Amino acid sequence: MALKKAGVLGATGSVGQRFILLLSNHPDFEIHALGASSRSAGKKYIDAVSWKQTELLPESAKQLEVVECKATGPFAECDVVFSGLDSDYAGTIEKEFVEAGLAVVSNAKNYRRELDVPLIVPIVNPEHLSVIAKKLSDAKAEGKPKPGYQICISNCSTAGLVAPLKPLVEAFGPIDALTATTLQAISGAGFSPGVPSIDILDNIIPYIGGEEDKLEWETKKILGTVNKAGTQFVNIPDEEMKVSAQCNRVAVSDGHTECISLRFAKRPAPSVEQVKQVLRDYVCDAFKAGCHSAPKQTIHVLEEQDRPQPRLDRNRDNGYGVSVGRIREDPVLDFKMVVLSHNTIIGAAGSGILIAELLLAQKLI
């Protein structure tokens, strides 16, 4: 099968670099367009980028020409466009791309709360892509050209949080109270400049701008439903699910750790062993659909009392698997546990790639 053409917006930034790494040697995609600011446009990628990844810059990407972020030229030919744009720019550019008929998978926050835009954690709620499928089939039925569309990747700490919640809700019914205190890696803040080192060495920053609100809000959309018309998303109402987040930045390079507590609406609550079993047994739809990057084991339930740890566990299933440990009863709510996820893989660019694999599996691109 011919490779699908992929574009990357914000190609020189931290998320863009990750997209490029993940697309190199990908069995389904090839890099067709790299977009960056006008300052970089016209340069070879190797000359435009300050490469900061632990893996080497792929040879295949070095000589590619960077272009401006316009929905013309090579971008117009793309089957899917991944956006690592900063939110200052993502609003306008992504809108232009969608209006030009392109499929945009974005890491930016700008459109996450739009009613008709899927907010996807691909190991959690791929069924939300049905809204896109309907949009395309409606257009076809009406004889219109294939429309562009926008899909949003969730916030990084939200992705790790909802991974264990999904199978738990499926098995035990609604969660009516949830608290999450996060210990988030510095890579989540990018690197231009990201977190200044003097702020994080021998220190903690107990605040990440906008993060707590994102975590509290996005959880209710991702675990929410689609309306009857199949066209819009309906969040879990605030009164049905109370979510409280406290977000901290810590001196960890990659991997967000979250200490969570939760209470189920139904009584009696399940046992600790039932909770573990449901998490262990969960197989995400992306894996069932044969997606290349999907984790074989979606949730790794760790029994060692001092795990998960970011340095040791963040790369399970190439960063697409989520680790959950210390599952135990909670004196205040029902259960508490520690969740670890790789913030630049399942929490950002990696999810974008897996979303595109789902689109391909569903023949939406």
Active site residues: 156, 256
Q: Which is nearer to its own copies, 333 or 364 (CB)?
A: 333
**Residue 246 interacts with its own copies (CB under 8 A)?**
yes
Q: Residue 65 or residue 238: which is nearer to its own copies going by CB? A: 238
Residue 206 interacts with its own copies (CB under 8 A): yes or no: yes
For the segment 279-308, give every residue that binds its own copies (CB under 8 A): 305-308
Contact residue for its own copies among 195, 345, 348, 353 (CB under 8 A): 195
Site pattern 331..360 for its own copies (x: CB under 8 A): xxx--x-x----------------------
State yes or no: cis peptide before 308, omega within 30 of 0.
yes
- For residue 28, give both structure tokens: 């389904």
Rounded to the nearest 5°, which phi and psi values hold at 114? -65, 140
Task: Give the nearest distance from C-beta 207 to its own copies in angstroms.
Answer: 4
Using CB atoms within 10 A of its CB, is residue 41 exposed (0-12), middle (13-18) or buried (19+)? Answer: middle
Residues in Cβ contact with 88 at an 8 Å cutoff, skipping those fewer than 6 apart: none
Per CB under 8 A, does 275 bind its own copies?
Answer: no
Pick the closer one to its own copies by CB: 193 or 290: 193
**Of 20-28, 50-58, 89-97, 140-148, which part binds its own copies (CB under 8 A)?**
50-58
Q: Which of 48, 49, 165, 252 binds its own copies (CB under 8 A)?
A: 252
Contact status: 198 vs its own copies (CB under 8 A): yes
Q: What is the residue-wise DSSP string for 279-307? A: HHH---HHHHTT-TT--SSSEEEE-STT-
Residue number with CB closer to its own copies (200 or 226): 200
Sequence length of the chain is 365
For β-strands 175-184 and 256-264, DSSP reports them as: antiparallel
Give min distance, CB of 208 to its own copies, in A. 9
d(CA 186, CA 191) in angstroms, rounded, equals: 9
Angle at CA of residue 343, ends 341 and 349, nearest 5°: 125
71/55 Cα distance (integer angstroms): 30
Say which amino acid occupies 21: L
Q: Which is nearer to its own copies, 229 or 332 (CB)?
A: 332
Residue 118 class from Cβ within 10 Å (0-12 exposed, 13-18 middle, 19+ buried)?
buried
- If one asks whether residue 199 binds its own copies (CB under 8 A), the answer comes out as yes
Q: Which is nearer to its own copies, 127 or 207 (CB)?
A: 207
Of the residues 46, 251, 272, 283, which one makes contact with its own copies according to CB under 8 A = 251
Is residue 135 within 8 A of residue 318, CB to CB? The reply is no
Task: Output the DSSP codes for 43-83.
Answer: SBHHHH-----SSPPPHHHHTPBEEES-SSHHHHT-SEEEE
Print the binding letters for residues 172-191 with its own copies: x by CB under 8 A, - otherwise. Answer: -----xxx-x-x--xx---x
Nearer to its own copies, 71 or 195 (CB): 195
Query: 3-state DSSP call for residue 12?
Result: coil
Q: Is 52 in the site for its own copies (CB under 8 A)?
A: yes
Q: Tally the C-alpha atoms within 13 A of residue 15's C-alpha that lie toward its C-beta.
A: 30
Among 28, 94, 211, 216, binds its own copies (CB under 8 A): 216
Contact 174, 265 (CB under 8 A): yes
Q: According to the binding rule CB under 8 A, does residue 257 interact with its own copies?
A: yes
The contact set with its own copies (CB under 8 A) reads 52-54, 56, 177-179, 181, 183, 186-187, 191-207, 216, 238, 242-244, 246, 248, 250-253, 257, 259, 261, 305-312, 315-316, 325-326, 330-333, 336, 338
